[in-house]
Amino acid sequence: MSVTILVGAQFGDEGKGKIVDYISSNADMVIRFQGGDNAGHTVVNERGAFKLHLIPCGVFKKGCKTLAGTGMVINPDELLKEIDDLTSNGIDVSNLYISSRAIILMPYHIELDCLSESSGRTGIGTTKRGIGYAYADRARRDALRFENLLDDEYREIRLNRILPTINAELVAKGGTAISIDFLREKLNYWAARLSSRIVDAVSFVNDAINAGEKLLFEGQLGAMKDIDLGIYPYVTSSNPTAAYAAVSSGFPISKITEIIGVLKAFSSAVGTGPFPTEIKGSESYIFRGSGENIDDEFGARTGRARQVGWLDLPVIKYASVINGFTSLAVCKIDKLDEFDEIKVCVKYKLDGKEIHHMPSARELERVEPIYVSMPGWKTQTRGIRKYDDLPPNAKKYLEVIENATGVPVKYIGVGPARDEIITR
Ligand code: GDP
Ligand code: IMO
Ligand code: MG
């Protein structure tokens, strides 16, 4: 039995998809435990290049069960599109299950998110996938869940109860009211296509744990965008931190055996909010690329150019504290191959004083990152597969991360493809 939780240690897009695809070779079940199709998880393997938004990245492993878990908000149209796309690529999706307690992300959630973003009221720079509004409906007990697809009578009662409030909100925000017939039709279609995949995920997960299976929980986004612990209000609406896998799935935290923090060898973020180590101007091109390559820094969901910057150790340390990482996966070390000198932010100063905590977003906007410079390795790492073969300066770079967090680096990504990895 093993229960491994894998989460992002920065601002999202750390390379979670690649690492889940790699380690799911040793998993019986992979569970996405929060978020929705705001995620873009890139996988490059012998089957092709994929950007997954809702389906766990363990889907490529033959016979592995995948579960869209309870903590998720799922747009059924997007899920069906993803199922159909994978199926047409010859990937078997018959082992995909959906938690009966997962929230159905409705068309009006997307509309409300878009209206909010375009009004500039919040200025968060969301992915406009309706995520915040679906979670808000969950909190105010106005959401429909996948269990409602199995009961058309109750579904109708719920829809009638919910819709007046939703329509009032749509109109107040400058949108147009949505018709019950349109929604009823959609729900009927989703019920016809998805009902057979809906399970009681609490038993599904706990039975698997008790049967000694190997479970891998796949997080979405990263620690700094956690709704409670991140750069509020520039955050998502769920908890991309490890403990939430247990909270949302309903298994005891005592069953957790490993917590993997995934980070990029540098920093990136998309959306608004503070980003202390940002590199602006032409230098950022070295990290970002032109957008032509699968591993260039453009949003896997929205295509937006990501902000990029030097590695921010206060962020990694904070992520490590709040998640309790037992091991780290460091992706994209190959992207540092060309540098003569590599900068690493080791601490922050706020109003001239060193600080040892993660400040609020407002304070983070004005921290001064304190950098150390390390010599680069000026050697191609992409073809390397053994830790001992890494250039000494690359090993020193990894040691700086290990020393700062006290957590061993177990996986090192040296390219976007599944086999471009070093394990220790
Ligand atoms: P996720 O959201 O955490 O799954 O990450 P994304 O897929 O959004 O972004 C990570 C990007 O880095 C993708 O373009 C991956 O193809 C790429 N990538 C992941 N690991 C590596 C690596 O070790 N080296 C290189 N060059 N690219 C990588
Ligand atoms: P993966 O799983 C990077 C960001 C958005 C915005 C904030 C809130 O691929 O790492 P939301 O649409 O969730 O309400 O937007 O969170 N964001 C992501 N940034 N990677 C993601 O997912 C993201 N999902 C949301 O840009 O700042
Ligand atoms: Mg991503």
When pLDDT is averaged across residues 74-88 and rounded to a whole number, the result is 98
When pLDDT is averaged across residues 84-99 and rounded to a whole number, the result is 98
Report the C-alpha gap between 239 and 394 in whole angstroms.
32
Residue 74 near residue 110, CB atoms below 8 Å: no
Whether pLDDT at 80 is above 80: yes
Task: From the CA of 57, give the closest atom in ligand 1.
Answer: 4
Cα(126) to centroid(ligand 2), Å:
6
Per-residue pLDDT at 16: 98
List CB contacts of 409: < 8 A, sequence separation 6 or more: 327, 328, 329, 330, 398, 401, 402, 424
Task: From the CA of 270, give the closest atom in ligand 2.
Answer: 26
- Does ligand 2 come within 6 angstroms of the Cβ of 238? no
Report the C-alpha gap between 297 and 277 in whole angstroms.
16
Least confident of 123-132, 160-169, 294-303: 294-303
Per-residue pLDDT at 72: 98
Angle, vertex CA 368, rays to CA 365 and CA 373, nearest 5: 130
When pLDDT is averaged across residues 395-406 and rounded to a whole number, the result is 98
Confidence of residue 121 (pLDDT cuts 50, 70, 90): confident
Per-residue pLDDT at 284: 87
Q: How far is CA 96 from CA 2, 54, 69, in A?
A: 20, 11, 11
Per-residue pLDDT at 283: 79
Nearest CA, atom 26, ligand 1: 415
Confidence of residue 345 (pLDDT cuts 50, 70, 90): very high
- Does ligand 1 come within 6 angstroms of the Cβ of 309? no
- pLDDT digits 0-9 by tens, 48-77: 999 999 999 999 999 999 999 999 999 999
Per-residue pLDDT at 123: 78
Per-residue pLDDT at 294: 94
Nearest CA, atom 15, ligand 1: 295
- pLDDT digits 0-9 by tens, 327-337: 999 999 999 99
Cα(19) to centroid(ligand 1), Å:
9
DSSP state of 364: H
Report the C-alpha gap between 140 and 314 in whole angstroms.
35
- Does ligand 1 come within 6 angstroms of the Cβ of 111? no
Q: Whose structure tokens read 């069906």?
A: 80
Nearest CA, atom 9, ligand 1: 13
Torsion from C-alpha of 14, 18, 19, 25, nearest 10 degrees: 170
Whether pLDDT at 122 is above 80: no
Per-residue pLDDT at 157: 96
Cα(302) to centroid(ligand 3), Å:
10
Cα(252) to centroid(ligand 2), Å:
28
- Does ligand 2 come within 6 angstroms of the Cβ of 175? no
Q: Which positions are catalytic?
A: 13, 41
Task: From the CA of 302, give the closest atom in ligand 2.
Answer: 26
Confidence of residue 119 (pLDDT cuts 50, 70, 90): confident
- Does ligand 2 come within 6 angstroms of the Cβ of 307? no
Confidence of residue 146 (pLDDT cuts 50, 70, 90): very high
Residue 17 near residue 274, CB atoms below 8 Å: no
Neighbours of ion ligand 3 (CB under 5 A): 13, 40, 300
When pLDDT is averaged across residues 138-161 and rounded to a whole number, the result is 97
Instruction: Extract the tokens encoding 302.
Output: 């929205």
Domains 2-98+199-260 and 103-195 alike in fold:
no
Task: From the CA of 222, give the closest atom in ligand 1.
Answer: 3
When pLDDT is averaged across residues 299-324 and rounded to a whole number, the result is 95
Per-residue pLDDT at 149: 98
When pLDDT is averaged across residues 157-179 and rounded to a whole number, the result is 96
Fold of the domain built from segment(s) 2-98+199-260: Adenylosuccinate Synthetase; Chain A, domain 1 (3.40.440)
Per-residue pLDDT at 365: 96
- pLDDT digits 0-9 by tens, 250-278: 999 999 999 999 999 999 999 999 999 99
Which superfamily, per CATH, for 103-195? Adenylosuccinate Synthetase, subunit A, domain 2 (1.10.300.10)
Instruction: Extract the tokens encoding 266.
Output: 């540098």
List CB contacts of 107: < 8 A, sequence separation 6 or more: 178, 182, 183, 186
Nearest CA, atom 27, ligand 2: 271
What is the average pLDDT score of the chain? 97
**Pocket probe mutation, ligand 2, options 51, 236, 264, 307, max atoms within 8 Å of Cβ:** 236
Report the C-alpha gap between 274 and 261 in whole angstroms.
21
Whether pLDDT at 242 is above 80: yes
Residue 310 near residue 266, CB atoms below 8 Å: yes
Burial-class residue 177 by CB neighbours within 10 Å (0-12, 13-18, 19+): middle
- pLDDT digits 0-9 by tens, 28-38: 999 999 999 99
Confidence of residue 39 (pLDDT cuts 50, 70, 90): very high
Confidence of residue 228 (pLDDT cuts 50, 70, 90): very high
Least confident of 98-102, 210-214, 288-292, 369-373: 288-292
Cα(13) to centroid(ligand 1), Å:
7
- For the chain, domain boundaries: 2-98+199-260, 103-195, 264-423
Bond prior to 314 in cis (omega within 30° of 0): no
When pLDDT is averaged across residues 227-233 and rounded to a whole number, the result is 98
264-423: which CATH architecture? Alpha-Beta Complex (3.90)
